[in-house]
Amino acid sequence: MPLKFRLGVMNFLQFFIFGAWLMTFSAYASKVLNFSGAQIGSIYGTIGIASIFMPTLIGCAADRWFNAEKVFASCHFVGAIMLVLASFTRDPAVLFWVFLINTMCYMPTIPLAGALCFRIISDNKQDVVRLYPFLRVWGTIGFIVALWVISFAGLELSPVQLQVAGIGALILAIYALFLPKCPPLIGLEHKSGLLAKLGLESLVLFKTPRMAIFFIFSILIGVLLQINNTYVSVFLHDFDTLAIYKNSFGVTHSAVLMSLAQFSEVIFILAIPFFLSRFGIKKIMLISILAWVIRFGLLAYGNPGSGIGLILLSMIIYGCAFDFFNISCAIFVDNETPPQMRASAQGLFFIMTLGIGGFAGAYGGGLVLDAMTQSVNGALFRNWNSIWLMFSSYALVLAVFFSVLFKSKVSSIKN
């Protein structure tokens, strides 16, 4: 079996697992389990909690003690059990702990999947720069396929979506054991000091004002990303309380509608080199923040009927909002940190964005939802117009402060 195909399958399954529940579970929790915004936010907040420390710990284990492919397989095996268990759990407090264990196992596998690709490609004397983008696109395809499977199978408001994710995790756990062997390359004796042993050498970057500002904005923009991941599905399914929208495609197949954002990702990934070469990294980052302003503003006035065009446009804008920030930041980190700590700095960026920012976005967003929810004749109604405009205003404030405070010595991609 060709190496490119084997690693492509790994990436497909890696993000199929996430796509099977990330965008749709919140609607199930809201509409079926009747969880509050804070309860939904706390469950999605486990993504942030796990992202703060688990990638570093699991990465150290794969670097120093165990074969990386076995660590990867073990994480997915435990995650599979937790996902299936979560599908039978109805209590929000218990579900929080089940999801925490699941995300503690899953989140480290995102950077570990990339590390496996780089290691295996390099060991086989192939071109990483040429091959990896093709492999990563298969992850996006896996996410899209999962959304379509969940939607067309009628599982958007069903706990079975978690079982589908669990089956995907179990298949990947078994599949990973047949990947090329990746034994540890370094030992703890090659590192000195606690931060070095934990892979957190890059914390010294906070001594540089420019880098400290960058990582603070990474947290604040990570809030926007997790708000998007957690609450767009709840928003679309809330339209089923109105007879005019109840059977519309945007409500009954909201996951398919949301998958357009992933299609948009593919397009904007390909466009990044063009934009970076002409506008520079700071302007690209600023464009991404302004894209969040537009994304949430469009949702504020969109609906699955006459306003479906606004929602569709917001899905397209998402690709710019997500990719322009993510990839330009990775380039910024690579250019502005010493070679010996670039990997650690990329991990720190992951912690700031998906970890601290992710938790704040999920839980804080839930509190906003609860504050904007009213009970009318026993039914709950959320003021989504005000909710999205509040999030859009938050992004606009970030854009203003970012344009003034952030400085970058890097203007374009390295040659």
- Name the nearest CA neighbour of 293 among 216, 400, 407: 400
- List, for residues 250-298, the tens digit of each pLDDT value: 888 888 888 888 888 878 877 777 887 788 888 888 999 999 999 999 9
Q: With contact defined as beta carbons under 8 Å apart, do 151 and 262 qualify?
A: no
- List, for residues 98-125, the tens digit of each pLDDT value: 999 999 999 888 888 877 777 787 777 7
Average confidence (pLDDT) over 172-178: 93
- The neighbour count for residue 281, using CB atoms within 10 Å, is 23
Domain 204-415: give its CATH code.
1.20.1250.20
Supply the pLDDT for residue 340. Answer: 59
Of 18-32, 195-209, 258-272, 397-411, which one has max mean pLDDT?
18-32
pLDDT band at 199 (very low <50, low <70, confident <90, very high): low
Asked whether the predicted pLDDT for residue 138 surpasses 80, the reply is: yes
pLDDT band at 342 (very low <50, low <70, confident <90, very high): low
Supply the pLDDT for residue 179. Answer: 84
CA atoms within 13 A of residue 56's CA, in its CB half-sphere: 25
CA torsion sign, 123 to 127 to 129 to 133?
negative
Supply the pLDDT for residue 415. Answer: 39
Domain 1-184: give its CATH code.
1.20.1250.20
Name which of 55-59, 71-75, 229-233, 244-248 the model is least confident about. 55-59
CA torsion sign, 158 to 161 to 166 to 171?
positive
Asked whether the predicted pLDDT for residue 341 surpasses 80, the reply is: no
- Name the nearest CA neighbour of 21 among 139, 155, 137, 113: 155
Supply the pLDDT for residue 124. Answer: 75
pLDDT band at 57 (very low <50, low <70, confident <90, very high): confident
Q: Report residue 377 as tokens.
A: 């004749």
Supply the pLDDT for residue 247. Answer: 82
In terms of Cβ atoms closer than 10 Å to its own Cβ (0-12, 13-18, 19+), residue 81 is middle
- List, for residues 78-103, the tens digit of each pLDDT value: 999 999 999 999 999 999 999 999 99
Asked whether the predicted pLDDT for residue 396 surpasses 60, the reply is: yes
Q: Report residue 249 as tokens.
A: 């495609």
Report CA Rg, the chain: 21
Distance CA 113, CA 11 (A): 7
Supply the pLDDT for residue 1. Answer: 65
Distance CA 10, CA 14 (A): 6
Supply the pLDDT for residue 408. Answer: 65
Supply the pLDDT for residue 413. Answer: 45
What lies within 8 Å, CB to CB, of 93 at 6+ separation is: none
Mean pLDDT of the chain: 84
Phi and psi based region of residue 280 (left: phi greater than 0; alpha: psi -120 to 50; beta: remaining): left
pLDDT band at 335 (very low <50, low <70, confident <90, very high): confident
Q: What DSSP element (H or E) covers 374?
A: strand 373-376
Distance CA 197, CA 151 (A): 44
Asked whether the predicted pLDDT for residue 234 surpasses 50, the reply is: yes
Which residues partner with 380 through β-bridges?
375
Residue 374 sits at φ, ψ, to 5 deg, of: -120, 150
Asked whether the predicted pLDDT for residue 391 surpasses 60, the reply is: yes
CATH 1.20.1250.20 domain locations along the chain = 1-184, 204-415
